[in-house]
Structure 1
C-alpha cells in the first residue's frame, strides 16, 4: 500500500518535531536521496512502490555514492546536504525519516533493506535487531 504524501510528511513532521511541513519535506528529500544510493534492484523498487510518488522518484534517482556509507557517515552526509544542520540535528532528521520509511516498508521488506546496508543501520531506522 502506498502512503499518501500528506500522511508520509505528517509522520516525519511529528517524529522530527518540525515546525513546518517544509522542514519535514527537506529532511525526507535528503535522507531518501542518500538512502537510494545504498539500495539496489528489486528491494529499492519495492520500497519506492510504497512511498508517495514524489519521494519514490527521489529514491529511484539517488545522489551517487562511491561506497556504502557507515551509519555515522550517512548522518554526516545528511548534515552536509541540509543547510544549517549539525550532526546532532541530522541524526534527528535521519531518524524521523527512516523510522517512517520502516513503518511504510513493513518488517519483511525492512529486513531485506537492512541486508543491503552496512551494519548498525537498524538503529537509524529505529528498529534495533537482535545480534
Structure 2
C-alpha cells in the first residue's frame, strides 16, 4: 500500500528535527529528485510505487544525471540545491529523507537499489553494511 504524503513528510520532519513541514518538504523534493536521477528500471518504478504520489512524481521525472555521484558528491549536490544549506546540513537532510525511503522500501528492494548506486550509499540510507561487500568492484 502506498504511503501518504502527510505521513511521509511527518516522518522526514521527525527524523530531520525540522521546525516546519515546509523544510521537510523542501529536503524531500531535492533528495528524491537527485536519487531519481541515479536509479533506473524496475527498482525505481517499484520504489516509486511504494512512496506517496508526490514523491513518485519527483522520483520518476528527475533531471538526468550526467554521471553517477558518489555519496559525498550527492551530499554536495543536495547542498547546492537547498538555499542556505551547507554540506553538514545537507548530510542531515539526505539522512532524514533517505532513511524514511529505506523504511518504506524494505530490505529486499533496498539491496537491489544499493547495487545500482556507487559504494557508500548504504550509510546515506541509514543501512550500514547492507550493500554487501564483494558485490561492488574495489576501486
Pairwise same-fold verdict (TM > 0.5)? yes
Query: Relative contact order, CA 8 A, sep 6+: which one is greater?
Result: 1
Aligned pairs (5 A) from 1:81-96 = 81-96=81-96
Give the C-alpha shift of residue 80 in structure 1: 0.1
- Structure 2: gaps of 5 or more residues: 134-139
Give the C-alpha shift of residue 64 in structure 1: 1.8
Give the C-alpha shift of residue 63 in structure 1: 1.9
Which has more radius of gyration? 2
Q: In the aligned structure 2, how far is the partner of 1:20 from the partner of 1:29? A: 15
Q: In the aligned structure 1, how far is the partner of 2:49 from the partner of 2:99? A: 17
In structure 2, the residue matched to 1:108 is: 108
Structure 1 runs, 4 residues or longer, greater than 2 Å off? none
TM-score normalised to the size of structure 2? 0.92
| 1:41 and 2:41 aligned | yes
What is the root-mean-square deviation of aligned Cα atoms in Å?
Answer: 0.7
Q: In the aligned structure 2, how far is the partner of 1:92 from the partner of 1:85? A: 10
Q: In the aligned structure 1, how far is the partner of 2:51 from the partner of 2:96? A: 15
Q: In the aligned structure 1, how far is the partner of 2:84 from the partner of 2:50? A: 30
